[in-house]
Structure 1
């Protein structure tokens, strides 16, 4: 299964932290919706999923109905604390999440939302492509995407595409040999 990791990074290379002072841009959100639609699915962590449930946003039920941006998509939430949510698949590990999507017939998986989730997929060598949306913001403190938390290991990547998304965001797409 082809696994694509989608993330927004700051201009100084940190994993971008969304919040009231730095909300996700419409350009990045639109791109995510396009990527998710192409894959027919996405995998998120519990914290990101809970953020999607923010009452100030459109509910997940509305997002996944026949007319919502995630209509007909399989959503997998990676969590060790959530037991069950009607209409969603809960997985405890990256491999379990991919197996769930594979069993549903998917050939591609989109991983988004949460540095911990991203680092777990990268650390297990399960990512084939990286999509980085570089936002025009610099953070003083941030999280990093890691392939190995304990060692200085390098993994060469191949630039597949580079394009502006608008709003000062540049998207970089890399391939990773597994």
Structure 2
């Protein structure tokens, strides 16, 4: 199964932070929805999923397999909850999916990357700079230096640029 990690980053490389004063931009949301529709699923961390629920993002994803990875919560109505990245991938593979979309947040991304479970990266670079933020922190033994292959790049509009990479294993 192909795994694609999807994230929105700032121009200075941090994860773009969303809040009530700074909601996610429509360019990023539309792109995520398109990738999720194409995959038919997405994997998300519990805190990110709760944020999606609070912003009424759930209607866009009706009928999709949503897998929440959480060590602390065992059940959330309407979604599948698993305890690890490998369990999430096993669940989706058992359901017949060819692609798994890993949507967020930073801890989940770092867990998948650290275990070598990511085949492709999709980074939407937002036209903003943030002084504080979360970063991709990959296992320094496994990924001290790892070249990736640029598959595609495109403009999403309003200054957003998308970079799509393959990770060689």
- 1:44 and 2:44 aligned: yes
Alpha-carbon shift at residue 82 of structure 1 (Å): 1.2
Deviations 1:27-84 (A, max 9, x none): 1000000000000000000110110121xx3263xx1xxxxx2132100001011111
Question: What SS class does the counterpart of residue 162 from structure 2 fall into?
Answer: strand
Alignment of 1:22-41 (within 5 A): 22-41=22-41
SS at match of 1:53: helix
Deviation at 1:14, TM superposition (A): 0.9
Relative distance call for 1:151 and 1:114 in structure 2 (3 A) is same
Residue 124 of structure 2: aligned partner: 133
Question: Deviation of residue 91 (structure 1)?
Answer: 1.1
Cα separation, 1, equivalents of 2:130 and 2:78: 36
Alignment of 1:3-14 (within 5 A): 3-14=3-14
- Return closer, same or farther for 1:59/1:159 CA change in 2, 3 Å cut-off: closer
1:58 to 26, 41, 56: 56
| Structure 1 gap ranges (5+) | 64-68
* CA displacement at 1:150 relative to structure 2: 7.2
Q: CA deviation at 1:153?
A: 0.5
TM-score (norm. length: structure 2): 0.95
CA distances 1:103-135 after superposition (whole Å, capped 9, x unpaired): 111110000120000000000000000000000
- TM-score using structure 1 length: 0.90
Tell me, in whole angstroms, the C-alpha distance in 1 between the residues paired with 2:73 and 2:48. Answer: 13
Q: Distance in 2 between matches of 1:7 and 1:155?
A: 19
- The count of aligned residue pairs is 169
- Residue 160 of structure 1 corresponds to which residue in structure 2? 151
For 1:84, the equivalent position in structure 2 comes to 75
Offset at 1:167? 1.4
Deviation at 1:89, TM superposition (A): 0.6
Gaps of 5+ in 2: none
